[in-house]
Amino acid sequence: MNRGSVETSLAELAARIRRRADGQAGRFVLGIAGPPGAGKSTLARGVRDELNLAAGSPIAEVAPMDGFHFTNAQLRALGELARKGEPDTFDAAAYVDLLRKLREAPLGQSIPWPTYDREIHEPMPGGVVIGDQRIVVTEGNYLLLEGHGSWSAVRPLLDETWYLDVPRPVIEQRLVRRHIRGGRTPADAKTKVAQSDLLNARLVEGTLTRADLVLRKFGRAYRIV
Ligand SMILES: Nc1ncnc2c1ncn2[C@@H]1O[C@H](COP(=O)(O)OP(=O)(O)O)[C@@H](O)[C@H]1O
Ligand SMILES: [Mg+2]
C-alpha cells in the first residue's frame, strides 16, 4: 500500500493535460520518461486517444523519442551496434532540434516526425506528421537525463513530465518477451536484457526525481506517487 498516493484514471490524466494545455498559448508538449519496457509508449497512446476522444477531434499526437535511434548502418559503421539503446546511440541533438521546432512552428504547419519500426528495427523518417494537433506527447527513456550530451536540453522544452515507474522484475520479463517477438532466441533475449537494457534502466531510474509526476500502474488505473 502506498500511503499518500492518489489513484487516477487515464481519462483523469488526459483531462489534467487538457486543462494545462488550454491555459497556455501555442502547442503543449507532455514528456513521458521511464525505463525501457515501463509502458511509456502504451501510456502515451492512451493519453492521446483519451484526449482525442474527449475533444471529438484529433487535438493530440504522439512523437516518440525512439525515432531518433541512429540507423543500424550508422551504428555498425561506428562499431556500436551492440550498444544500441544506450544514450549516445540516439541522435539527441536532432531530437532537441525537432522538439524546438514543434514549439516554435505555428499550428497547422506540417512537421514530419520519425518513428521506430520494431519489426525491421530501424527508425522511419516521417513516420508520423504533426500538423494541427496542439498537444504532443513525446515519450522515451532519456527525456530527463543530464550529463550525457544534448539530452539535458530536452527537459526545458517540455511543459510537463511524467515518470512511469515499474518494478524491475516486471520490466525484465516484458523486455525478454519483446526481444523474442523481435526475432531473438530466448537465450539472446535474456543476454540483451541483462547486459544492456537493465543497465540503461538503472541510468533512467536516476532521473525519476526530475519528473513533475511519478506514476505507477495500479490495476486498470494509475497511482500518482
Ligand atoms: N500497463 C501495462 N500492463 C501490462 N503490460 C503492459 C502495460 N503497459 C505496457 N505493457 C506491455 O509491456 C510492454 C512494453 O510496453 P511499452 O509501452 O512498449 O513500453 P516502453 O515504451 O516503456 O518500452 C509491451 O509488450 C506492452 O504491451
Ligand atoms: Mg516504447
Ligand 1 center to 177 CA (angstroms): 11
Give domain status of residue 220, yes or no: no
Give domain status of residue 57, yes or no: yes
C-alpha distances in Å from residue 28, one per residue of 108, 175, 224? 14, 31, 21
Q: Is 179 in the pocket of ligand 1 (CB under 6 A)?
A: no
Percent of the chain with pLDDT over 70: 99
**CATH code: domain of residue 167:** 3.40.50.300
- Ligand found nearest the CA of 37: 1
CB proximity list for 142: less than 8 A, separation 6 or greater = 33, 65, 87, 90, 92, 148, 151, 154, 204, 207
CA-nearest residue, atom 11 of ligand 1:
39
Q: Which three cell numbers stand for residue 186?
A: 530466448
Domain that holds residue 154: 6-215
The reported pLDDT for the residue numbered 3 is 59
Would you give per-residue pLDDT tens digits along the chain (225 residues)?
455 788 999 999 999 999 999 999 999 999 999 999 999 999 999 999 999 999 999 999 999 999 999 999 999 999 999 999 999 999 999 999 999 999 999 999 999 999 999 999 999 999 999 999 999 999 999 999 999 999 999 999 999 999 999 999 999 999 999 999 999 999 999 999 999 999 999 999 999 999 999 999 988 899 999
The reported pLDDT for the residue numbered 5 is 83
Q: Is 174 in the pocket of ligand 1 (CB under 6 A)?
A: yes
pLDDT digits 0-9 by tens, 170-192: 999 999 999 999 999 999 999 99
- Total domains, the chain: 1
Q: Is 34 in the pocket of ligand 1 (CB under 6 A)?
A: yes
Q: CA angle, 62 as apex, 204 and 28 as ends, to 5°?
A: 90
